[in-house]
Structure 1
Amino acid sequence: MKKILLFAMGLAMSASTLAEETEKVETTIAGDIVSSYIWRGLDAGSTAVQPTLGIGYKGLSLTAWGSYGLTNPDDTKEFDLTLGYSVGGFNIGITDYWFSVGLDPDARYFKYDAHGTNHIFEANIGYDFGVVSLQWFTNFAGNDGENKDGNRAYSSYLEANVPFKLATCDWTATAGVVPFATTFYGTEGFAVTNLALKATKDIKVTDSFSIPVFGQVVANPCSQKAYLVLGFTLHP
C-alpha cells in the first residue's frame, strides 16, 4: 500500500510539473492586412494578407509567416520559417525564406538544390537596448544575390529601430542600410535603403477586443522610391 501511495504521489507531482511547464509555452496566432507589402524599403507586392503562427518556450521560438497577394495574382507568394532565441535584450535566429519566384520555375517548396532553389537562408543577430534596437541580417545560403564580381554576395542588412510614444500612438522610427554591393537589394555598394516612420493605435471594438491599426511612411533613398502603407492586425 505504501508503494502504491508513493507511486500515486509521484504521478501527481509529475502531472503538476507538466502542467506548469505547459503553461509557459506561448502560442502566437495573428494576421496583418496591408495596403502594400514593403520590406526593408523594397516593394514586395500590393495589398496582401500576412498570417503568423508561432510557438515559444523559455526564449526559444519557432515562427511561420507568409504573405499572399489579395488583388494582384502576379504578386510573389512568400512562406518563411524562423527559429529564434532571445534572452534579455539579446536575440539570434535563422530564417528560411521561400518565394514563389526564383531559380525553380515550378516553385517547388521541397527543392533545396544550391543552384536551383527558391529558398533563401538568413542568419540574424541583434540587441534591444530599450531606447534603440539594432539588428544585423546576412544571407548565407540559397538564392542569394551576387556582388560586383558575380560571386555570392552574402547579402547583408543592418537596421536600427527607435520606439517612442506620441499623441496616444506607439511610434517607431527605422533606418536600414545595406553595407555591400548585391543584386539582392539592388545596391552597388554601401546604401541607405530604408527610412521609415510607423504609428500604431489600438481601435477598441469591445471591452475585451481591439484592432491595432498602423500607418507607415517608407522611403528608399537608394532606389529613389517612397511608399505610404496602411494596415491592421487581427489576433485573439
Structure 2
Amino acid sequence: MRHFKYLVSVVLVIFFSFSLAMAEEVKKEEPKQEDKVTGSVSAGIYSRYIFRGYELSSGSVVIQPSVTVSYKGFSVNYWGNIDTNERQTQSFVPDRPSRKSFNESDLTLSYTYPIDKLSLTGGYIYYGTKYTDETEEVFLSASYDIISKPTLTIYRDISAYPGTYVNLSFSHSFEVYKDITLDLAASFGYFKGDDSYWRTYDSSTGEYTGKKYSAFHDGKLQAGFTIPVMKNVTVQPVVQYWFPLSNKAKRVVDGSSYNHNGHLDDTWVAGVGITFSF
C-alpha cells in the first residue's frame, strides 16, 4: 500500500513540526541533562513471551533480565529471554524443543531530546534471536507528558524482515497507598510488510504467494502495581491481555496462518518483575 509510506511521512512531519512549535511557544531553554549516570537492573518472570501479539512461547515460564544505563539523554539497554521449556506455536519454532533455552538477547541504543513536556527519541535495536534470523530496527518516538502519556513510535526493520510497525500507546499511574501505584496501560499496533517474506497464504497455490501482509495488527491492555520494598527496589506484579486488531491479524486459511509470521490469538500473560534503580 503505497499510501502507507506517505502516511508515515505525514505523521513524522506533524510530530516534529509540533515539537518545534512547542519550543517556540514555551520559549524555554533546553533542559540541562544531569552529569550523572543513571540506570536500572531488573528481572521478570512471566507465564508467556508475547512480542507485538506473536506468541513466542507456550506452556512454560519465561525469565527476562534487563539492564539499562543512561547518561545525558543517551541510553543503552540489554534485554534477554530465557524460555524454561520451549514449545512450538504458530509464530515460534524452538531452537531447543522441550528444553530450556536462552533464546534471545537484544541491544537498544537511543537518544532522547526533551522539549518542555514533549520527548523525542530516536534509536537502534539489534535482535539477537536463536529461533529465527537475527535482525535490526531503527525507530523514532514522540511522547507527551500529560495524563495518559500518549506515545507514538515508528519502527523500521532494516535487515532480515523489512517492514514498518507503528505503535500508539497510553499509560498512567494512580497512587493507591503511600508509594504504591496502580499502573494502567494500553497500546495498539499497525504493521506493513515490504519484503517477499511477508507474502500471505494463498489457498489457490497452498503457499505463501499472496499479497504482502499489512493490517491493524495487535492490541494490548495492561494492569499492574509498582510496590517499593526498599530503597531503589520495586516489585511489579502485572497482567496483560493481548488481542488481534483486525480479521487479517487473526485469519487462518485452510489451517494455515494468513500472515507468514503466524496468526494472533486472544492471549493472557501474568507475571512479576523486580527492579533495582541507581
Same fold? TM cut 0.5: yes
Q: How is 1:68-217 mapped onto 2 (pairs within 5 angstroms)?
A: 68-72=82-86, 73-74=96-97, 77-88=103-114, 89-102=119-132, 118-130=133-145, 131-141=149-159, 143-144=160-161, 154-165=162-173, 168=176, 169-180=182-193, 183=197, 188-203=212-227, 205=229, 209-217=233-241
The structure-2 alpha-carbon separation of the partners of 1:234 and 1:180, relative to structure 1 and needing over 3 Å to count, comes to: same
The structure-2 alpha-carbon separation of the partners of 1:189 and 1:59, relative to structure 1 and needing over 3 Å to count, comes to: same
Secondary structure at the aligned position of 1:45 is classed as coil
Indicate conservation of the 8 Å contact 1:76/1:99, yes or no. no
The structure-2 alpha-carbon separation of the partners of 1:101 and 1:76, relative to structure 1 and needing over 3 Å to count, comes to: farther
Show CA shifts across 1:61-111 (max 9, x none).
111111110233536711111111011110000011111133xxxxxxxxx
The structure-2 alpha-carbon separation of the partners of 1:125 and 1:219, relative to structure 1 and needing over 3 Å to count, comes to: same
The structure-2 alpha-carbon separation of the partners of 1:167 and 1:226, relative to structure 1 and needing over 3 Å to count, comes to: farther
Q: How is 1:9-88 mapped onto 2 (pairs within 5 angstroms)?
A: 24-46=36-58, 47-72=61-86, 73-74=96-97, 77-88=103-114
State how far apart, in whole Å, the 1-side matches of 2:84 and 2:198 are.
25
Indicate conservation of the 8 Å contact 1:34/1:231, yes or no. yes
State how far apart, in whole Å, the 2-side matches of 1:220 and 1:120 are.
24
State how far apart, in whole Å, the 2-side matches of 1:121 and 1:219 are.
25
Equivalent of 1:227 in 248, 261, 267: 267
Structure 1 unmatched runs, 5+? 1-20, 103-117, 145-153
State how far apart, in whole Å, the 1-side matches of 2:266 and 2:63 are.
21
Indicate conservation of the 8 Å contact 1:178/1:185, yes or no. no
State how far apart, in whole Å, the 2-side matches of 1:185 and 1:162 are.
31
Show CA shifts across 1:1-54 (max 9, x none).
xxxxxxxxxxxxxxxxxxxx9970113211111110011111111421111112
- Structure 1 residue identity aligned to 2:126: D
TM-score by length of 1: 0.72
State how far apart, in whole Å, the 2-side matches of 1:125 and 1:231 are.
29
Q: Please, what is the CA RMSD of the aligned residues?
A: 2.7
Which one has the largest radius of gyration?
1
Q: How many residues align?
A: 191
Task: State the Cα distance separating 1:138 from its structure 2 match.
Answer: 0.7
Task: State the Cα distance separating 1:204 from its structure 2 match.
Answer: 5.3
State how far apart, in whole Å, the 2-side matches of 1:64 and 1:207 are.
23
The structure-2 alpha-carbon separation of the partners of 1:209 and 1:58, relative to structure 1 and needing over 3 Å to count, comes to: closer
Show CA shifts across 1:158-189 (max 9, x none).
00001134694211111011034664697943
State how far apart, in whole Å, the 1-side matches of 2:125 and 2:190 are.
19
State how far apart, in whole Å, the 2-side matches of 1:179 and 1:23 are.
40
Indicate conservation of the 8 Å contact 2:136/2:158, yes or no. yes
Identity of matched residues, %: 20
State how far apart, in whole Å, the 1-side matches of 2:37 and 2:272 are.
26
The structure-2 alpha-carbon separation of the partners of 1:207 and 1:123, relative to structure 1 and needing over 3 Å to count, comes to: closer
Task: State the Cα distance separating 1:210 from its structure 2 match.
Answer: 3.8
State how far apart, in whole Å, the 1-side matches of 2:144 and 2:106 are.
27
TM-score by length of 2: 0.62
- Structure 1 residue identity aligned to 2:242: V
State how far apart, in whole Å, the 2-side matches of 1:69 and 1:202 are.
25
